[in-house]
């Protein structure tokens, strides 16, 4: 939500986020947070940073600003003695953004959310998820993702997926992101577009 608002690709009053997860713990946590937001309580996110990891300056700037579009600075929890040197900041997400979330129990390989044509998703994000599946399962997931996206909608993932000729999901581009100067500390984010 924070990034979409910062990039001005969404309006706060229209933004809705649905999480598709098969973990009951994750879904229950989101629903409890949502119920608390209905009562006017926000949600606090703790954001740790270990300076010894040597983050790139761009990542530090992102960490410094994260949350300023959806919340306000909050008092962080105390850093445990075993993690001394860790810098911690916290953001209290405003209740209206927490209320705009909904958790759906869904295994994207085997299931899809039946979405009416006029309410299909503009954007689906699947990072650090599809890597756990083989090529066949990834293809099933991509088929289900296609059915939930509106024509012209996007999938962002850090997995290169097999583009089957029968699918309307086509890779558009990718960007390489380095988090630090350490070897293999980064991602390649690939975006796929659902063709009409």
pLDDT at position 189 is 96
* Assigned token pair, 81: 């003695």
| Whole-Å CA distances, 171 to 7, 61, 174 | 22, 29, 8
What does the pLDDT read at residue 65?
97
The pLDDT, as a whole number, for residue 36 is 98
Per-residue pLDDT of the chain (196 residues; tens, 9 = 90+): 999 999 999 999 999 999 999 999 999 999 999 999 999 999 999 999 999 999 999 999 999 999 999 999 999 999 999 999 999 999 999 999 999 999 999 999 999 999 898 999 999 999 999 999 999 999 999 999 999 999 999 999 999 999 999 999 999 999 999 999 999 999 999 999 999 9
Q: Terminus-to-terminus CA distance in the chain, angstroms?
A: 26
Whether the model pTM is above 0.85: yes
What is the rounded CA–CA span in Å between residue 42 and residue 161? 37
Question: How is the chain classified by DSSP, letter by letter?
Answer: -HHHHHTTSS-GGG--EEEEES-HHHHHHHHHHHHHHHTT--EEEEEEE-GGG-B-HHHHHHHHHTTTTTEEEEPPPPPPGGGTT-EEEEEEE-HHHHHTEEEEE--TTT------GGG-EEEEEE-SSGGGS-HHHHHHHHHHHHHHEEEEEEEEESS-----TT--EEEEEEEEEESBSSTT-EEEEEEEEE--
Q: What is the pLDDT of residue 134?
A: 96
How many angstroms separate the CA atoms of 65 and 196, rounded? 36
């Amino acid at each position: 939500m924070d990034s979409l608002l910062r990039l001005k690709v969404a309006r706060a009053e229209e933004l809705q986020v649905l999480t598709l997860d098969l973990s009951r713990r994750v879904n229950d946590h989101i629903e409890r947070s949502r119920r608390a937001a209905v009562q006017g309580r926000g949600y606090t996110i703790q954001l740790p940073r270990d300076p010894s990891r040597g983050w790139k300056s761009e990542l530090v700037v992102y960490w410094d600003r994260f949350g300023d579009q959806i919340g306000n600075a909050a008092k962080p929890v105390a850093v445990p003695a075993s993690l001394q040197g860790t810098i911690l900041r916290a953001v209290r997400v405003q209740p209206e953004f927490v209320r705009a979330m909904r958790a759906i129990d869904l295994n994207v390989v085997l299931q899809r959310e039946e979405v009416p044509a006029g309410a299909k998703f503009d954007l689906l994000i699947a990072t650090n998820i599809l890597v756990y599946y083989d090529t066949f399962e990834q293809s099933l997931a991509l088929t289900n993702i296609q059915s939930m996206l509106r024509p012209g909608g996007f999938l962002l993932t850090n997995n290169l997926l097999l583009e089957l000729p029968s699918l309307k999901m086509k890779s558009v581009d990718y960007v390489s992101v380095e988090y630090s100067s350490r070897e293999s500390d980064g991602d390649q984010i690939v975006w796929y577009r659902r063709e009409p």
